[in-house]
């Protein structure tokens, strides 16, 4: 795979990633040349420490990443690369005294949403194709003022740059479902983040799963992206090839959660030599570095002590780090034959370390302390010079937002930040529409699978034949009730258990999107309810259309009313399932809770047990089956032809008084020992169940399952 050398120049097309023409006024003539808007996104961290459950994962890590540069974080497995990226993205809480500033301000929710984060594990909806995934991402994360054509243009260009054209119609896959290859998924992940044009891009192991050519192409592409778009790109990488290594501007080396080097990547060889750890000319520095770090603890101790002493960090601040001049150095693992071991005489610690200051203009004070970060960011940010130069055409929508129609088009750093005050990129209505469509598409294969169709048709026919053309007489009352009870309980179980995995199944994707601020939870939640509504109703309706006419069709209004109650019951059950699923987020726990709840609802539903002990009567009022079953009886026994009395030994006293009489519907319901509520009250109670479960589900997601 070969990437274009210029990230934006694709086969000679216009080098604009984001549309030039839009309704939002943008600068045409004057632009800030020294500091384009996005270039203010300097990421500076000092004394950055992270502890989880009392375990220190990161300890006093310092560094700074500037727009236009590629900062690579390297270190052995478990050294804390992902933890650091999580901390920089605001997903992991920092220990006290840690300092993290983005664009000169402490990282807050608003800035968090301007950070693109490609995590190590790509999470997508497995059944959506890449085309659909990118389309929905662009609809959700690009502001409303983008037209459909502009969105499509952006998607097309990013697809082209990342060479994803061939797999656009392939399902994303994941879990048990086959789909995109590992490398394609990784590039798809990057494409989703690039669509939003973030000023800061964090990538956790972006080259994992790629072959060496593709990996090199990707890093080149990111480098060009950082350079041309003035973006801050920070990535973690395990063991890059030497070609990739030489593309890094800055390198942060981690070992055991501590930094052992931060500075220009090209000066790492000199640094290691200073410490007495030579890197031979023809070796890939990345390989040698990793060998040292993973090899004897002496090498890493030496690096750490040197780093601490030279930087004046932590305990070693007091101690002078001294090399013994007779020290033979540390043997290199990868060249462990006596002939190739090479040692250089260790040097004394330089009095004033300037390892990464290649020249004054790029010399960052890497011994970054809080006040220095402030000074640095301040000095980088202001003043912004203006020129009369034309727009190069490279500014992104974010730039244009910040520029607005201000005549000077020169905004202070803080005004850039306030341009992101809009909490969400799109309106509630847009989010609702897009998420409803996406939800429908995503849930359809799961809820309307081939097996579900077969199962429903089979069950409908079975029930139809079992209760075929029932006569309307006293002897068949329990059969008619049996069909109604079976239908309500079966579809309750189907909807409730089917909904249990709904939230847990998409939790990772939704959390990722919520953290990146793509949409409101309320929009997602209401879209889920609406998007899945036709799906949750399809199967019960199909079953009903088959089995009820086979049992005996009487009139249209009874037919439709019964259908409504069956569907309402299913929707209530689905709401309960969604709530339990969200609460437990664990399939085993949620099935146990649901099994208990549904069994209790069946027992108190009014068909299996007609004599409920007085002290347990309250439990009946918690059974949704009780209300749905009773409502269906009312509709069926009052709407259709009345039930004829048994010719002899009728259990209804009214039947014994006259011959060929009929049984009023309320006597049938009363005979089952259930107190009768008016149909409207039953209906309202069912709707209340629906409302309560849905509100509880929202509260759980909002306050209990907040993504971190
Ligand atoms: N939630 C957690 N609780 C306890 N320890 C954790 C937690 N998360 C990570 N760690 C530990 O922190 C250390 C750093 O983990 P991290 O994932 O940041 O390493 P890494 O350098 O990214 O590794 P790799 O290259 O293998 O992905 C590891 O030892 C890991 O076991």
CATH number of the domain where residue 185 is located: 3.40.50.300
pLDDT above 70 coverage of the chain, percent: 78
| pLDDT at residue 328 is higher than 50 | no
Tell me: do 55 and 145 sit in the same domain.
yes
pLDDT over threshold 60, residue 37: no
Q: Is residue 42 part of a domain?
A: yes
Is 21:391 a contact under the CB 8 Å cutoff?
no
CA of 78 to the centre of ligand 1 (A): 5
Q: Say whether both 369 and 478 belong to one domain.
A: no
Q: What percent of the chain has pLDDT over 90?
A: 35
Whether 284 maps to a domain, the answer reads: no
Q: Which range among 61-70, 109-118, 135-144 shows the weakest confidence by mean pLDDT?
A: 109-118
Q: By C-alpha distance, which of 190, 368, 334 is closest to 263? A: 368
d(CA 339, CA 100): 47
| Region 66-94 average pLDDT | 91
Q: Indicate which atom in ligand 1 lies nearest the CA of residue 238.
A: 25
Q: What is the mean pLDDT of the chain?
A: 78
Q: What is the pLDDT of residue 421?
A: 53
Could you tell me if 58 and 84 are in contact, meaning their C-beta atoms sit under 8 angstroms apart?
yes
31 is a domain residue: no
pLDDT over threshold 60, residue 33: no
**CB of 625 closer than 8 Å to CB of 605:** yes
* CA atoms of 431 and 425, how far apart (whole Å): 9
Classify strands 115-118 and 200-204 as parallel, antiparallel or unpaired: parallel
* Residue 348 counted as domain residue: no
Cα(82) to ligand 1 centroid in Å equals 7
What are residue 237's phi and psi, to 5 degrees?
-150, 145
CA–CA distance, 243 with 246 (Å, rounded to integer): 5
> Is the same domain home to 518 and 613?
yes
What's the pLDDT band for 422 if we cut at 50, 70, 90?
Answer: low
Closest CA to 212 of 190, 243, 235, 237: 243
Ligand 1: atom nearest CA of 79 is 21
Q: Which helix (H) or strand (E) element contains residue 208?
A: none
- Distances in whole angstroms, Cα of residue 464 to Cα of each of 255, 489, 547, 549: 69, 16, 4, 8
* Residue that has been written with the tokens 């929508």 in this structure: 397
Ligand 1, residues at Cβ distance < 6 Å: 52-53, 55, 57, 75, 77-83, 238
Residue 704: alpha-carbon gap to chain centroid = 17
What is the mean predicted confidence (pLDDT) over 372-400?
37
3-state SS, residue 622? coil
d(CA 310, CA 371) in angstroms, rounded, equals 19
Q: What's the pLDDT at 708? A: 67
289 vs 305: CA distance, rounded Å:
16
Angle at 492 between CA 486 and CA 495, to 5 degrees: 135
Q: Please state, as a whole number, how many other Cβ atoms lie within 10 Å of the Cβ of residue 695.
A: 12
204 phi/psi in degrees, rounded to 5: -95, 110
Residue 405 is assigned to a structural domain of this protein: no
Q: Which of 351, 375, 399 is the last residue of a domain?
A: 375
C-alpha 6 to ligand 1 mean position (Å): 35
Give the model's pLDDT for residue 558: 93
* CA 57 to ligand 1 centroid distance, Å: 7
Atom number, ligand 1, closest to the C-alpha of residue 85: 18
What is the Cα–Cα distance from 594 to 576, expressed in whole angstroms? 9
Distance, CA of 10 to CA of 224 (rounded, Å)? 13
**Cα–Cα dist 14/487, whole Å:** 61
Residue 411 lies in a domain: no
Phi, psi of 680 (to 5 degrees): -65, -40
- Where a domain ends, among 306, 340, 375? 375
Of ligand 1's listed atoms, the one at least distance from the Cα of 86 is: 18
Q: 99 C-alpha vs ligand 1 centroid, how far in Å?
A: 21
pLDDT of residue 659: 66
| pLDDT in the model for residue 249 | 93
Residues 480 and 370 grouped into a single domain: no
Are 369 and 503 in the same domain?
no
Say how far residue 384 (Cα) sits from the centre of its chain: 37
Which residue has the CA at smallest separation from atom 31 of ligand 1? 78
Residues 527 and 650 in one domain: yes
For 482-537, write each residue's pLDDT tens digit. 999 999 999 999 999 999 988 888 888 898 888 888 899 999 999 999 999 999 99
Indicate the pLDDT class of residue 311, thresholds 50, 70 and 90.
low
571 or 267, which is more confident?
Answer: 571
Partner residues linked to 202 by β-bridges = 117, 234
Task: Render pLDDT for 154-194 as a digit per residue (tens, 0 to 9).
Answer: 899 888 878 888 899 999 987 778 889 888 888 899 999 88
The residue-averaged pLDDT of 53-81 equals: 90
Would 95 be classed as within a structural domain?
Answer: yes
- Which residue's CA is the closest to the ligand 1 atom numbered 8? 83
Kindly tell me if the per-residue pLDDT of 368 is higher than 50: no
371 and 503 fall within a common domain: no
| Atom 7, ligand 1: residue with shortest CA distance | 52
**Cβ-proximal residues to 242 (8 Å cutoff; 6+ apart), any chain:** 284, 285, 286, 287
Q: Which domain range does residue 477 map to?
A: 428-704
- Best probe residue, ligand 1, of 78, 86, 290, 293 (max atoms within 8 Å of C-beta): 78
Task: Please tell me the distance between residue 617's alpha carbon and the centre of ligand 1 in angstroms.
Answer: 54
Rounded to whole angstroms, the Cα distance separating 82 from 109 reads 20
**CA-CA distance, 232 to 251, in Å (whole number)?**
14
Distances (CA, A) of 300 to 173, 259, 267, 273, 394: 41, 11, 18, 14, 44
> Residue 526: in which H helix or E strand, if any?
helix 521-552
Three state DSSP letters for 248-300: CCEEEEEECCEEEEEEEHHHHHHHHHHHCCCCCCCCCHHHHHHHHHHCCHHHH
How far apart, in whole angstroms, are the C-alpha atoms of residue 574 and residue 571? 5
For residue 381, the model assigns a pLDDT of: 33
Residue 390 maps to a domain: no
Q: Write the pLDDT tens digit of every residue in 648-707.
A: 778 887 777 766 688 888 888 888 777 788 999 999 999 999 999 999 999 999 998 887
466 and 371 share one domain: no
Average pLDDT of span 100-125? 83
Please state, in angstroms and rounded to a whole number, the distance separating the CA atoms of residues 160 and 383: 38
Q: If you write DSSP's letter for every residue of 51-112 in order, what string do you get?
A: EETTEEEEEEEEEEE-TT-EEEEE-STTSSHHHHHHHHHT-SPPPTT-EEEETTEE--HHHH
Count the domains in the chain: 2
């Amino acid at each position: 795979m070969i990437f274009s050398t210029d990230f934006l120049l694709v086969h000679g097309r216009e080098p604009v990633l984001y549309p030039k023409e839009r309704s939002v006024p943008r600068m045409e003539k004057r632009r800030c040349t020294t500091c384009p808007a996005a270039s203010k996104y300097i990421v500076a961290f000092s004394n950055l420490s992270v502890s989880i459950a009392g375990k220190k994962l990161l300890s006093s890590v310092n560094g700074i990443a500037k727009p236009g540069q590629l900062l690579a974080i390297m270190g052995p497995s478990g050294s804390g690369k992902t933890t650091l990226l999580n901390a920089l993205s605001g997903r992991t809480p920092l220990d006290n005294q840690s300092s993290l500033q983005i664009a000169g301000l402490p990282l807050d929710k608003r800035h968090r949403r301007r950070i693109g984060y490609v995590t190590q594990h790509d999470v997508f909806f497995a059944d959506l194709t890449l085309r659909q995934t990118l389309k929905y991402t662009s609809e959700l994360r690009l502001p409303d003022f983008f037209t459909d054509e502009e969105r499509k243009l952006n998607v097309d260009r990013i697809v082209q740059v990342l060479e994803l054209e061939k797999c656009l119609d392939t399902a994303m896959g994941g879990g048990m479902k086959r789909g995109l290859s590992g490398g394609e998924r990784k590039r798809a992940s990057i494409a989703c983040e690039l669509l939003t044009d973030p000023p800061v891009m964090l990538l956790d192991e972006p080259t994992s799963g790629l072959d060496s050519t593709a990996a090199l192409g990707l890093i080149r592409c990111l480098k060009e992206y950082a350079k041309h778009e003035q973006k801050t790109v920070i990535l973690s990488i395990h063991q890059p090839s030497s070609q990739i290594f030489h593309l890094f501007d800055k390198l942060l080396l981690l070992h055991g959660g501590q930094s052992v080097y931060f500075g220009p990547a090209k000066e790492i060889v000199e640094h290691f030599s200073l410490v007495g750890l030579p890197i031979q000319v023809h070796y890939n520095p990345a390989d040698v570095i990793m060998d040292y770090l993973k090899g004897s603890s002496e090498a890493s101790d030496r690096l750490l002590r040197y780093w601490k002493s030279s930087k004046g960090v932590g305990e070693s601040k007091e101690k002078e780090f001294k090399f013994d001049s007779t020290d033979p150095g540390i043997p290199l693992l990868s060249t462990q034959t006596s002939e190739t071991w090479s040692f250089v005489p260790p040097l004394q610690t330089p009095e004033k370390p300037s390892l990464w200051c290649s020249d004054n203009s790029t010399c960052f004070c890497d011994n970054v302390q809080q006040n220095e970060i402030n000074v640095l960011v301040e000095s980088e940010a202001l003043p912004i010079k203006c020129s009369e130069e034309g727009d190069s055409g490279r500014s992104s929508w974010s730039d244009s937002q910040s520029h607005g129609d201000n005549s000077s088009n020169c905004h202070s750093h803080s005004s850039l930040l306030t341009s992101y005050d809009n909490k969400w990129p799109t309106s509630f209505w847009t989010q609702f529409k897009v998420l409803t469509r996406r939800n429908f598409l995503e849930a359809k294969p799961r809820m309307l699978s081939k097996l579900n169709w077969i199962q429903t048709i089979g069950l409908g026919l079975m029930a139809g034949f079992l209760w075929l053309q029932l006569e309307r007489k006293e002897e068949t009352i329990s059969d008619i009730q049996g069909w109604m009870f079976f239908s309500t309980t079966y579809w309750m179980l189907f909807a409730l258990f089917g909904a249990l995995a709904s939230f847990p199944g998409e939790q990772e994707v939704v959390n990722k999107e919520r953290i990146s601020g793509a949409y409101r939870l309320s929009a997602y939640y209401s879209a889920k309810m609406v998007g899945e509504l036709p799906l949750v109703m399809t199967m019960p309706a199909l079953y009903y259309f088959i089995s009820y006419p086979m049992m005996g069709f009487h009139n249209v209004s009874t037919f439709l009313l019964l259908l409504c109650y069956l569907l309402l019951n299913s929707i209530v059950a689905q709401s309960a399932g969604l709530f339990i699923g969200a609460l437990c987020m664990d399939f085993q726990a949620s099935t146990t809770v649901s099994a208990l709840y549904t069994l209790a609802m069946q027992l108190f539903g009014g068909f299996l047990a007609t004599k409920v002990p007085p002290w347990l009567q309250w439990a009946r009022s918690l059974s949704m089956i009780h209300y749905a079953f009773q409502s269906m009886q009312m509709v069926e026994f009052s709407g259709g032809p009345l039930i004829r009395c048994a010719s002899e030994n009728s259990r209804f006293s009214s039947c014994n008084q006259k011959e060929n009489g009929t049984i009023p519907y309320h006597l049938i319901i009363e005979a089952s020992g259930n107190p009768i509520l008016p149909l409207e009250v039953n209906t309202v109670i069912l709707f209340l169940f629906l409302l309560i479960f849905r509100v509880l589900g929202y509260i759980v997601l909002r306050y209990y399952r907040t993504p971190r």
